[in-house]
Structure 1
Amino acid sequence: MIEARVRIAHTCSAYEHSTADPIMALLRPGESGSAGATAQPGAVSAKRDGLQHRFHHQRQFRVHAGLRLPSRTETAQLPSNAGHARGGRDGVFAERGFEQTIVSPQGGRSPLEPRSLKFPAYDKTAKAWRADPERMALLENTAAPDEIDPADFDAIYFTGGHAVMYDFPDSEGLQRITREIFERGGIVSSVCHGYCGLLNTTLSDGSHLVAGRKVTGFAWREEVLARVDKLVPYNAEEEMKKRGALYEKAKLPFVSYAVADGNLVTGQNPGSAKKTAKKVADLL
């Protein structure tokens, strides 16, 4: 019998916080918002500096990025039964025996988000993760994009958190990995704000990967309800539409919703993580 090996790349943000406290309490998805569609396609970071300053001084936010387990730029959140990592090492992907690798835009250490160590995120799964030295060691040295050979992976999974809105869109390294996996038939997936990592990814013919394809991700209405619409750097939902994506969302905010369009799989919000992971696993 031949045993097939499936490898998934999980991406986490590598965003550095300009704060005296090295471990900053970041906002969980659903706790931050944005300043509207201020950016144009290919330039979503136009007002990055000013809005970034507001984030630091008005609210602390979490940096969870996308491809694998706990992934937050400057901070990683432990996998939880209710969080983005449901597709991670202790969730759907682990149950299927998939090999997973944590990647961040810059590589290196991914500190824990203090809020992930409190109720309700700090559940049985998260506690087990934190108690395992081998698993915690994975966060000390995340891989950088240039260390990843897309040919070795079957899928890429962008996790969420508001910090990824800053360093995911313009990461050429993540774009390269995503493009190569997608064009050879591998799975490209994201959940919540993770879809910001797909905003500027183009295919070999120059077209946007999301153009003409069904996509979902954290909705603008959810940003408003989370009272962070004045803080986020841009309206991700609108930016997706500008790039030709066929954006979809659940009828009610914060309801689990995921959509698959060929080998592109996306989930709307934190509560959609498990459903998204299952869709990815079924395709693999």
Structure 2
Amino acid sequence: MANKKVLMVVTNHTKITDDHKTGLWLEEFAVPYNVFKEKGYDVKVTSIDGGEVALDPNSLPEEKNEAWEAAENELKDTAQLSKDDAQGFDAVFLPGGHGTMYDFPDSETLQYVLQQFAEDDRVIGSVCHGPAGLVNVTYQNGTPLVEGKKVSAFTDEEEKDMGLDQHMPFLLESKLREKGADIVKGDSWSDFSIRDGHLATGQNPMSSRSTAEKVVEALES
């Protein structure tokens, strides 16, 4: 049987304010990447603009994590996400990092790709701020992708804990609620993820592995 194929889409946005750099949150990419590779899946890594992907400085481990090295190498020169990526994959996964709050919601290409996955009932996974990519996605009939679905994402409380709530273009939990999502969450800064059919979402960096495992579960069921 052919290997399952997973598309990963990451952010290219690099700053919140002039003195606060951001980017992709490494753990939320590297851990799911390794989960998918360990299952023998083919993984294609793309970003909104293509090229080298900046990492949020706060997400870098104090000591180099050798287990993440192969994943990090994938970020040195990513393919730009294109509408062609809407086909040929069994699942799509959106890692977070505050950068996603800026370039995911406005990417017409990402909205298109996710709409195709949703229409085909293919698996969509996302963790922490990654669900920022879901807020503007609709089915072709205009229904929001998240409407009536159980969704977990970085909470308003966690955003306030970080002191970044006033700098965000919107609060992710609140925005998902506005779009009709049934928000489900665990304690702040604890591992929490949820699967609702073909949609698997997780709350924060600590939820990276469990969210990826729910994507695997959805793919294998």
TM-score (norm 1): 0.72
Q: Which amino acid aligns with 2:67?
A: T
Cα deviations across residues 86-110 of structure 1 (Å, max 9, x unaligned)? 111xx21111011111111112222
1:30 aligns with none
Q: Which amino acid aligns with 2:210?
A: K
C-alpha displacement at 1:278, in angstroms? 0.5
Moved more, 188-197 or 226-235: 226-235
Q: How many residues align?
A: 219
The match for 1:56 among 11, 18, 35 is 18
1:7 aligns with 5
1:191 aligns with 127
* Equivalent runs, 1:97-112 vs 2, <5 Å: 97-112=40-55
Q: Tell me if structure 1 keeps the 8 A contact 2:94–2:131.
A: yes
Cα deviations across residues 92-150 of structure 1 (Å, max 9, x unaligned)? 11110111111111122224554444426x32313x438xxxx62x3233122226332
Find the aligned partners of 2:173 and 2:56 in 1 and give their Cα distance: 25
Q: Which amino acid aligns with 1:129?
A: A
Find the aligned partners of 2:60 and 2:194 in 1 and give their Cα distance: 30
Confirm or deny that 1:282 pairs with 2:206: no
Q: Tell me if structure 1 keeps the 8 A contact 2:14–2:23.
A: no
Residue aligned with 1:161, SS: coil
Cα deviations across residues 227-248 of structure 1 (Å, max 9, x unaligned)? 2222222111111111111111
- In structure 2, do the counterparts of structure 1 residues 201 and 155 end up closer, same or farther at CA, with 3 Å as the change threshold? same
Residue aligned with 2:97, SS: coil
2:181 aligns with 245
Confirm or deny that 1:129 pairs with 2:70: yes
- In structure 2, do the counterparts of structure 1 residues 235 and 115 end up closer, same or farther at CA, with 3 Å as the change threshold? closer
Find the aligned partners of 2:83 and 2:112 in 1 and give their Cα distance: 12
Q: Tell me if structure 1 keeps the 8 A contact 2:127–2:201.
A: yes
Q: Tell me if structure 2 keeps the 8 A contact 1:85–1:159.
A: no
Q: Tell me if structure 2 keeps the 8 A contact 1:84–1:191.
A: no
Find the aligned partners of 1:84 and 1:170 in 2 and give their Cα distance: 21
Find the aligned partners of 1:273 and 1:150 in 2 and give their Cα distance: 23
Bigger share in strand: 2
- In structure 2, do the counterparts of structure 1 residues 224 and 16 end up closer, same or farther at CA, with 3 Å as the change threshold? closer
**Runs of 4 or more consecutive aligned structure 1 residues displaced over 3 Å after TM superposition:** 111-118
Bigger share in helix: 2
Q: Tell me if structure 1 keeps the 8 A contact 2:53–2:78.
A: yes
Q: Which amino acid aligns with 1:276?
A: T
Confirm or deny that 1:163 pairs with 2:99: yes
1:213 aligns with 149
- In structure 2, do the counterparts of structure 1 residues 96 and 173 end up closer, same or farther at CA, with 3 Å as the change threshold? same
- In structure 2, do the counterparts of structure 1 residues 260 and 230 end up closer, same or farther at CA, with 3 Å as the change threshold? same
TM-score (norm 2): 0.91
Residue ranges of structure 2 left out of the alignment (5+ in a row) = none
Residue ranges of structure 1 left out of the alignment (5+ in a row) = 18-51, 65-71
Confirm or deny that 1:87 pairs with 2:32: yes
Find the aligned partners of 1:265 and 1:93 in 2 and give their Cα distance: 14
Per chain length, whose mean CA-contact separation is higher, i.e. which structure has more relative contact order (CA < 8 Å, sep 6+)?
1
Q: Which amino acid aligns with 2:147?
A: A
- In structure 2, do the counterparts of structure 1 residues 276 and 109 end up closer, same or farther at CA, with 3 Å as the change threshold? same
1:67 aligns with none
- In structure 2, do the counterparts of structure 1 residues 7 and 112 end up closer, same or farther at CA, with 3 Å as the change threshold? same
- In structure 2, do the counterparts of structure 1 residues 230 and 260 end up closer, same or farther at CA, with 3 Å as the change threshold? same
